Amino acid sequence: MNLTIFDLDETLINVDSDVEWGRYLIDKNLVDPHEWESKNEKFYWQYKNGQLDINEYLIFSCEPLKNTNLALLKTHRDAFINERIKPNILKKGQQLIEKHRSEGDELLIITATIEFITKPIVSLMGIEQIIAPIPEFLNGGYTGKIVGTPSFREGKLLRLHQWLKKNNKTFDGMTFYSDSHNDLPLLSAVTKPIAVDPDPILLRESKKRNWEVISLR
């Protein structure tokens, strides 16, 4: 059996779900708009340019989970997915998922966006297995911290190894689809790396290494 791994943001969906969640929170006045808009876009620029401090970013990303009533938070998450994510699920991406499912592959999404946001998105797309940064939840609420290693850059590869060991899984081959040069550590480690609508750095690396390049747009 083969394992097929997908990145989520700007690979299977046409947006970055974490950035869009921040914009949604701003639009709904759930966070300070002046502070959040500048920081949200700054972190996105840093991510795109390979300069993101993931720990600093996750503190920022988890702040609304800590400071917002949990029931209200979940209500807004449902609305966010309906309004901002469903229209941006790529049809060709969904078809690719179903192709690999029909071939008997095990499916997994690995993302750097927190599980609170991404788990219901992934479930909506018909994939139950996800590796994502896990917000700490204690005594009925989120603490603003992350549990374990963030699944970002080399952390994606580490978390994959931990997942394989924990679930006692071995595979004949592994395929990984991603749009981002931040995923080069994992792309370099799998049997079949595939660049999806890649950013300029990943496109350059893909051509250099003769990796397959596809578009789902």
CA angle 86, 75, 64 (to 5 degrees): 100
Name the residue among 70, 63, 56 with its Cα closest to residue 26: 63
- Among candidate residues 7, 105, 183, 199, the one labeled active-site is 7
pLDDT tier at 35 (50, 70, 90 boundaries)? confident
pLDDT of residue 66: 92
Domain spans of the chain, in order of start: 2-214
**7 tagged catalytic:** yes
Q: What CATH number does the domain located at 2-214 have? A: 3.40.50.1000
For the residues 143-151, what does the mean pLDDT come to? Answer: 96
pTM of this structure: 0.95
Contact between residue 153 and residue 54 where contact means Cβ atoms under 8 Å apart? yes
Give per-residue pLDDT as tens, 96-120. 999 999 999 999 999 999 999 999 9
Residue 151 pLDDT > 90, yes or no? yes
Give per-residue pLDDT as tens, 165-188. 999 999 999 999 999 999 999 999
- Among candidate residues 9, 105, 179, 199, the one labeled active-site is 9
Torsion, Cα of 128, 131, 133, 137 (10° steps):
50
Q: Output the average pLDDT for the chain.
A: 96
pLDDT tier at 34 (50, 70, 90 boundaries)? confident
**18 tagged catalytic:** no
pLDDT of residue 2: 97
**HSE-CB for 108 with a 13 A CA cutoff:** 21
For the residues 192-208, what does the mean pLDDT come to? Answer: 98
